[in-house]
Amino acid sequence: MQTIQSINEMQSHAISLRTNGCLIGLVPTMGCLHEGHLSLIDIAREKADKVIVSIFVNPTQFGLNEDFDRYPRILKEDLALCEDRGVDIVFNPDIADVYPKGYSTYVNEEQVSADLCGVSRPNHFRGVATVCLKLFNITRPDYAVFGQKDAQQCSMVKKMAADLNLPIEVLVGPTLRDADGLATSSRNRYLTSLQRSDALTIPNALEEGKKLVEQGVRNVDRVVAEVTHHLSQCRRIRVLYVRVVDRETMEPASEIESGKHIIVTAAWVDQTRLIDNIAL
Ligand code: PAF
């Protein structure tokens, strides 16, 4: 496995791989890799000849009072996991190279990103779109793989790729859950064991919503109320939103259709912000 820090080196390497007919799969990450990321690497592996994992904690997608400074950075462990999983290249650029002094260009997707996390995290998706486009330009992937847990991010990147005519197929891997049901996330590391057991209220609440739909309920407000009620039983949890949306476009549902809609939620568990979703 190669580790590349230099943007120029990564870009010229990617261009020469493509010239030699290699299909490239990119898994963009901020490190602190977990089983969810590893499953995305497996998806890239199935499709591509060379798998690149980028590890970059992207400052532009964090708000002023968010967790950029304390975001876990465990490069050595991440590299070992990538090596074990058969990754070909880890791209780990420096912040000062990605955003040099005087940097002033940003990408704004204005539809999919407007609502949900776009409201509670202003500028978050601008940062994600910007860094993803930069990573795409540097690593020249045929496939870029993201996880369904970040449903709005997946839709936004797909929309950006379509709107900007990027020659990239965006693939979405299923949400991976730990044995207790909590969706894998680097931010789970912030949780104490008590907080973690309370955080399980999130997947449980989503399951309650899904159960209603399985019983034939099609009314969005009823399902949202059920999930919100379940979440609000937990003292540590502060709900940011619970919504039923189209799984592709993130547009709000007016009447629930199985296979088309998902319930999405974001909530604080004490100081940790978690997101999750469930297909209906
Ligand atoms: O999902 C993430 O880890 C990040 O938002 C991404 C896609 C790597 C961009 O920084």
CA–CA distance, 212 with 67 (Å, rounded to integer): 35
Whether 150 is in the pocket of ligand 1, judged by its Cβ within 6 Å, is yes
The reported pLDDT for the residue numbered 245 is 98
Q: Of residues 37, 124, 230, 261, which has the active-site annotation? A: 37
Pairing of strands 272-279, 50-55: unpaired
The pLDDT of residue 238 is 98
Tens digit of each residue's pLDDT (9 = 90 or more) over 197-218: 999 999 999 999 999 999 999 9
Whole-angstrom distance, CA of residue 211 vs CA of residue 217: 9
Could you give the count of Cα atoms lying within 13 Å of 204 in the half-sphere of its Cβ?
13
Which residue is it, tokens 């992207």?
58
CB 264, CB 243: distance < 8 Å: yes
Q: What is the pTM of this model?
A: 0.98
Determine what percent of the chain is predicted with pLDDT higher than 90. Answer: 100
The per-residue pLDDT for range 48-98, each reduced to its tens digit, is 999 999 999 999 999 999 999 999 999 999 999 999 999 999 999 999 999
pLDDT tens-place string over residues 220-254? 999 999 999 999 999 999 999 999 999 999 999 99
Mutate to test the pocket of ligand 1, among 32, 37, 61 (most ligand atoms within 8 A of CB): 61
Question: CA 89 → CA 41, 79, 86, 132, 279, distances in Å?
Answer: 11, 10, 9, 17, 33
pLDDT digits (tens, 9 = 90+) for 107-146: 999 999 999 999 999 999 999 999 999 999 999 999 999 9
Atom 3, ligand 1: which residue's CA is nearest? 29
93 lines ligand 1 (CB under 6 A): no
Q: Domains (ranges, CATH) in the chain?
A: 2-173 (3.40.50.620), 186-279 (3.30.1300.10)
Ligand 1: does its nearest atom lie under 6 Å from the Cβ of 32?
Answer: no
Q: Which atom of ligand 1 is nearest to the CA of 28?
A: 8
pLDDT tens digit sequence for 140-180: 999 999 999 999 999 999 999 999 999 999 999 999 999 99
Query: Which pLDDT band, with edges at 50, 70 and 90, does 26 fall under?
Result: very high
Q: Residue 131: CB within 6 Å of ligand 1?
A: yes
**pLDDT the model gives residue 228:** 98
Q: What is the pLDDT of residue 110?
A: 97
Per the annotation, the verdict on 37 as an active-site residue is: yes
As a whole number of angstroms, the distance between CA 250 and CA 212 comes to 21
Q: Which of 192, 193, 204, 279 is nearest to 234 (CA)?
A: 204
